[in-house]
Amino acid sequence: MDRSKPICTKVERAAFIDRRLAELYPETPVPLDHTDAYTLLVAVLLSAQCTDKRVNLVTPHLWALADNPADMAKVPVAKIQAVIRPCGLSPQKAKAISGLSKLLIENHGGEVPQTYPELEALPGVGHKTASVVMAQAFGEPSVPVDTHIHRLAQRWKLTNGKNVEQTEKDLKRLFPREHWNALHLRIIFYGREHCTARGCDGTVCEICRTVVPNRKRGIKTKK
């Protein structure tokens, strides 16, 4: 695409964004430290309303207690809660970690299941968490929509921001399926570094200025 030409349509905006993000972030390391599908699942669960940085500080202490479903199922919930307290929502998260570990043993032979219905049936595992696990543990093309992606998709006029479910559908329609797993990480990286909640209002960062050049005032993104 010739950058000197105006970017008018959603398809054109998506194509530019896809290419520019790949230039900025050719590598897409998973932000949450993990060693397998189980430790990724637990780490993603802990990341709800918590930064990845803090989760990565806490999980080594949790893995010292147990790093697999069989061992974690034996750890008292109170002990799990004490370790993960810095991540916030520790009572709910501790119960979920204990509960899902027991269900993995009882129903899945100690393995993390590889389907959305089975993952979302586990305690504390919603669609976004399941999408991250499917993408990053099993390589299934997915677009997990977190707060960064929901915000940026609105600023870049790729979705109306009605809700995260709609944002996910719109992004999947606009971007090649084979790009989804890297794309969602790239958008997160860009949202953290350049198009932050407070540092950009849709008129400041490079991509916002490029894809919506005529925007005169900042926009308020929908939650």
> What is the residue-wise DSSP string for 71-139?
HHTTS-HHHHHHHHGGGS-HHHHHHHHHHHHHHHHHHHTTS--SSHHHHHTSTT--HHHHHHHHHHTT-
Q: How many domains does the chain have?
A: 2
Give the range of the structural domain holding residue 181, as residue numbers without chain letter: 10-28+143-211
For the question of residue 18 being annotated catalytic, the response is: no
User: Given this model, what pLDDT does residue 6 score?
Assistant: 57
Give the model confidence (pLDDT) of 44-56 as tens digits: 999 999 999 999 9
Mean pLDDT for the chain overall:
94
Flag whether pLDDT at 1 surpasses 90: no
Q: Are residues 46 and 114 in the same domain?
A: yes
User: Given this model, what pLDDT does residue 219 score?
Assistant: 80
Q: Exactly one of 33, 52, 67, 146 is catalytic; which is it?
A: 146
Q: Answer with the one of 84, 109, 136 that is the final residue of a domain.
A: 136
**Which distant-in-sequence residues (6+ apart) come within 8 Å of 2 by Cβ?**
none
Q: Are residues 58 and 24 in the same domain?
A: no
CATH number at 107 reads: 1.10.340.30
For the question of residue 71 being annotated catalytic, the response is: no
Q: Answer with the one of 90, 109, 136 that is the final residue of a domain.
A: 136
Give the model confidence (pLDDT) of 161-178 as tens digits: 789 999 999 999 999 999
Predicted TM-score (pTM) of the model is: 0.91
Q: Are residues 169 and 207 in the same domain?
A: yes
- Flag whether 221 is in a domain: no
CA 215 vs CA 98, 156, 190: distances in Å: 49, 11, 20
Give the model confidence (pLDDT) of 59-115 as tens digits: 999 999 999 999 999 999 999 999 999 999 999 999 999 999 999 999 999 999 999
- Over range 181-205, report the average pLDDT: 95
Q: Exactly one of 93, 128, 157, 170 is catalytic; which is it?
A: 128
Residue 170 CA to residue 187 CA, distance in Å, equals 15
Q: Answer with the one of 88, 113, 136 that is the final residue of a domain.
A: 136
- Flag whether 79 is in a domain: yes
User: Given this model, what pLDDT does residue 5 score?
Assistant: 56
